[in-house]
A and B are shown apart, each in its own frame.
Chain A
Amino acid sequence: MSLHKIMLDTRDLEHPIPLEKAIKALHTLEDNNYLYMLHRKNPIPLLDLAKEHQFQVLSQEDNTQIWHILIAKDKHINLNDLLDV
Chain B
Amino acid sequence: MIISNYMKNEHRECDSLFAKAEEAIAANNWEEANTQFLAFANETLKHFKSEEEELFPAFEKATGMANGPTQVMRYEHEQVRGLIGNMAEAIEKEDRDAALSLCESLMILLQQHNMKEEQMLYAMCDRQLPTQLKETTLEAIKKVTL
Contact = CB atoms under 8 A, between A and B. Distances in A.
A49 B123 contact: no
A1 interface: no
Contact of A23 (B69, B119, B123, B127): B69
Interface string A3-36: 0000000000001110110011011000000000
B120 interface: yes
Interface of B is mostly: helix
Interface residues on B, range: 10 to 19
B65 interface: yes
A15 B119 CA distance: 9
A77 interface: no
A49 B112 CA distance: 11
Contact of B115 (A20, A23, A44): A44
27 contacts: A15-B123, A16-B120, A16-B124, A16-B127, A17-B127, A19-B119, A19-B120, A19-B123, A19-B124, A20-B63, A20-B127, A23-B65, A24-B65, A26-B68, A27-B68, A44-B119, A45-B115, A45-B119, A48-B112, A48-B116, A49-B69, A49-B72, A49-B116, A49-B120, A52-B72, A52-B75, A53-B72
Interface of B: 63, 65, 68-69, 72, 75, 112, 115-116, 119-120, 123-124, 127-128
